[in-house]
Structure 1
Amino acid sequence: MFSAVLLAVLVTGLVRGFLVDVYFIPSASMEPLLTEGDRVLVTKLADPDIRRGDVVVFDGRGSFDPITDPRSLPERVLAAAGQWLGLAGNDTTYVKRVIGVGGDRVVCCTADGSLTVDGDALDEPYLHPGDAASTTRFDVVVPEGRLWLLGDHRSASSDSRSLLGAPGGGFVAEDRIIGRAFQLVWPLDRSGPIDRRSD
């Protein structure tokens, strides 16, 4: 019995470590697609084709968060257990949408309030109802190997715009991407695929 449980834990750990993992959504920053308390599946398979419009989970340490963790070891162990079980979020892991990839020029905003990427207005049907594309003006060129990431609920999201004046300028390195969210699994009445956009 014990060996069967141990084997199940080991297999689950390997799957979640290298193939697919589940992430807890800790905030309203991706509404209406994802709400606080949702769980999503994230593919960890190598996928160099990160595209505009993809919803990604990433490690924000060094860009969105400092590298150091002030919590004690027992607090970190409890937090890690809650994250592994999908019962809690992670203070340094974020879910955002890719707006710009390396080489893109992303600008806010046109006369009608749209973002532009390389001069073309961005169609954003996923925006939270009533939100502007951005109330923060910016004009950025995304360095190669980095991403410009925004939440869908722009008025409730701390994202690349929040770090415009900080070291790194709000850009997130591609190697900090943990994976692409591809399936909403909880709650069951809203479960379904998270489609990739063709932008």
Structure 2
Amino acid sequence: MDHTKRQPRKQGWRFVLLAVAMAVAISGLIRSLWIDVYFIPSESMEPLLGVGDRILVSRTDFGAEPIRRGDLVVFDGRGTFAPLNSGKGPVADAAAAAGHWLGLTGSDTSYVKRVIGVPGDHVRCCGADGRLTVNGQAIEESYVYPGDAPSEQRFDVVVPEGRLWLMGDHRSRSADSRSLLGAPGGGLVPVERVIGRPVRIIWPLDRFAELPRPAAAATTSKNGL
């Protein structure tokens, strides 16, 4: 039997498999250290982010500048937004992780919300004019979904050190810090749980657009953030 033709073919497949493995490893390293892709599974951040959008998330933006009010953040919600035991079994978890890694599905534990209060802020709903107040000052929220009230639920919270008060832009469709006031942590997400900042919508192509950071708010917290 002539083995001279099989040997180059085997080597070719090995080369292809090695190249694929290296590409996956490099992609994983980039996504774990610098930039990642997330799928938007819900209406909670409309009109800015729609169901099915894929967003590019920078993991390094908040290393250069601190998180501030108005920022969009992707964060790990385990222990706050997500149940402490959110697993569905090893096979289902592996399939979900693969879909999330490929940007095809959302994550059961990662969320996108907007920062309304930073450590030291006194956040309240609502003032006499129906707007949220931060440290006694009414805030402008042009990003709120048209027709939605700033909040139908009343709250009065002082954000502790190392935590954030987060809300969705589509207030009537968003489960956020308001929904978890009676839960462990009171809906306040640890700053250390923030994964990064959404910087661009990359899919679908007709929605390809930058997601710039908002201008810094004039309101100051007790910590001066």
Quick check: TM above 0.5? yes
Deviations 1:9-53 (A, max 9, x none): 111111111100000001000000001110111111262511111
Partner of 1:158: 175
Q: Which of 156, 177, 193 matches 2:210?
A: 193
Q: Structure 2: give runs of 5+ residues left out of the alignment.
A: 1-15, 218-225
Aligned pairs (5 A) from 1:26-105? 26-45=41-60, 47-48=62-63, 49-105=66-122
SS of residue paired to 2:103: coil
* Mean CA deviation greater in 178-187 or 126-135: 178-187
Partner of 1:22: 37
How does the TM-score come out when normalised to structure 2?
A: 0.86
Structure 2 Cα separation of the partners of residues 69 and 52 of structure 1:
29
Amino acid at match of 1:24: F
Amino acid at match of 2:85: T
Question: How far off is 1:66 after superposition?
Answer: 1.9
Give the number of aligned pairs.
199
Deviations 1:87-133 (A, max 9, x none): 00011111100000000001111122110111111110000000000
Deviations 1:149-175 (A, max 9, x none): 000000000000001122211100001
Using the aligned pairs only, state the percent identity: 60
Q: Find out whether 1:139 has 2:156 as its counterpart.
A: yes
Partner of 1:184: 201
TM superposition outliers: structure 1 runs of 4+ over 4 Å: none
Amino acid at match of 1:143: P
Structure 2 Cα separation of the partners of residues 167 and 74 of structure 1:
29
How does the TM-score come out when normalised to structure 1?
A: 0.97
Structure 1 Cα separation of the partners of residues 203 and 78 of structure 2:
27
Amino acid at match of 1:52: R
State the superposition RMSD in angstroms.
1.1
